[in-house]
Amino acid sequence: MMSKQRVVISGVNSGIGYATALIFAKEGYMVFGIDLAEEANASLVLKIKTLGSDLYYSKCDVSNPQQVEQFFGSLNTEIDVLVNNAGILGPRLKTDEYPIDAFEKILDINVNGVFYMTKYGLPYLKKDCGSAIVNVASVAGLVGMTNHIAYSASKHAVVGMTKTWALEYAKKGIRVNAVCPGFTDTSMVENANLDKEYIAGLKFGTPMKRFGEAEEIAAGIYYLASANSSFVTGQCLTLDGGLTAQ
């Protein structure tokens, strides 16, 4: 009997990470998830069990290189897929009002965290076996995002790292791609304290007149990790309801 494939997902306890864990579990993967909480989201654990799999959870801060290195060292196994999902939005402020500590924190998590996860995860990714890295970037990594300088800068960096790693590791059979979601209905948006009028304006400005769902983004992530995208690397799959087509 073939052994199960293995996926590592950061930011697994909510939003896109949560939905991604479920779709991989449904497809028969062993799911290794990390987040900042002491324990895994209980509802996620239960849902994964009902799908016939288990969530192997570890508390890990992706912005801490020592913790990331220790996490991968504790796996004692190769992995097939790495999903770099953990990230934060930060405050909505113009650049001249933007706190330096907030700017640095966002880059530490959204940029350094993706770098650390990939740097220490690469030795555990199977070579020449169709393994994949999928980074969660954003449409803010493709175009500017007013009043979100740190977030936009961080996601542009993720897009750049994605393309660079795709070139560096193509010959080793490791594909590297990114998803670039538009506005998505997740706790990150809920916790951003955006007023209702602003949210309504964001939806109105999207051709499909709604936010994306976490499950829709997770489906894109799974596609980029699966054999269905075996000739795809260095690409950014935009999932934005037509926002950047305007």
- Condensed to tens digits (0 to 9), the pLDDT of residues 75-94 reads 999 999 999 999 999 999 99
- What is the spatial distance between Cα 93 and Cα 172, in angstroms, rounded to a whole number? 42
Mean pLDDT confidence for 178-203: 83
Q: Are strands 236-239 and 132-136 parallel, antiparallel or unpaired?
A: unpaired
Determine, yes or no, domain membership for 141: yes
Catalytic residue among 18, 57, 116, 151: 151
Angstrom distances, CA of residue 193 to CA of 64, 147, 169, 185, 187 = 27, 14, 40, 13, 11
Determine, yes or no, domain membership for 198: yes
Model confidence at 193, pLDDT cuts 50, 70, 90, reads low
- What is the spatial distance between Cα 108 and Cα 129, in angstroms, rounded to a whole number? 31
Provide the CATH number for the domain around residue 158.
3.40.50.720
Determine, yes or no, domain membership for 174: yes
Q: Counting every residue, how long is the chain?
A: 246
3-class DSSP state for residue 113? helix
Determine, yes or no, domain membership for 1: no
- Condensed to tens digits (0 to 9), the pLDDT of residues 43-61 reads 999 999 999 999 999 999 9
Name the average pLDDT for the chain.
96
pTM, two decimals, is: 0.96
In this predicted structure, the answer to whether residue 195 has a pLDDT above a threshold of 80 is no
> Does the annotation mark 151 as catalytic?
yes
Q: Which domain holds residue 220?
A: 6-245
**Total structural domains in the chain?**
1
